[in-house]
Amino acid sequence: MTSLAVIRGNRHSQVVLGLVTGICFGFLLQKGGVTDYGVIEGQLLLVDFTVLKVMLSAVMVGMPAFAILRQYGYANSHAAHGTLGANVIGGLVFGAGFALLGYCPGTVAGAVGTGAADALIGGMAGMLIGAGLFAELYPALKSRVLAWGKFPAVTVPEFLHLHLWVVIVLLEACMAGFLIFLELYGL
């Protein structure tokens, strides 16, 4: 694992790696169709399920791959303790912005790459303002609302008291079932 530590610790290689990762991500988002306003808004209006198809297939591939990589020491878990105050309230505010803008933080950048001017002048500018506002309010929120209602567990296997691989198999079955349902109903 020493070579991995060298790559992770080298500032210059990390900058290049970040750029290359971003380029691949942007390419895949655009090819997947999710840099398009109509596709994202269509998902939130429940008429186009492309966004969920992309997300669920990413999770279905990544979940077992990460479990194996972690088991052999190639990856670490970054799962952290969440709270109702941070994750639920923040998630709902995010959702409202998601619907008004029609892009999320990654796809807004992707949309800029495809020529969407509203994503650049409205979306990315707004994201910078929103992130700055949060930075201003952070000291006041940190020990108050962000700490409210701590979740009972960090990971789903801990929460359900089930073995890691039992949870993975169950989740894979649920997600596959949902995707098959979408295809059967032509969604």
Query: Is the alpha carbon torsion for 3, 9, 12, 16 positive or negative?
Result: positive
Candidates 2, 6, 35, 172; binder of other proteins (CB under 8 A) is: 35
Residue 88 per-residue DSSP state: I
Q: Note whether 151 binds other proteins by CB under 8 A.
A: yes
Token pair of 116 as six digits? 């969407």
Residues 76-135 interacting with other proteins (rule: CB under 8 A):
76-83, 86-119, 121-135
At 83 the three-state DSSP class reads: strand
- The verdict on 138 binding other proteins (CB under 8 A) reads yes
- Under the binding rule (CB under 8 A), the answer on residue 159 touching other proteins is yes
Please report whether residue 172 would count as binding other proteins according to CB under 8 A.
no
Closer to other proteins by CB, 74 or 181: give it.
74
Per residue in 160-175, is it b (16+ CB within 10 Å) or e — as a string?
eeeeeeebbeebeeeb
Determine if 163 is a binding residue for other proteins (CB under 8 A): no
- Residue 53 corresponds to which tokens in the numbers above? 């198809």
Q: Provide, rounded to whole angstroms, the least separation between the CB of residue 94 and other proteins.
A: 3
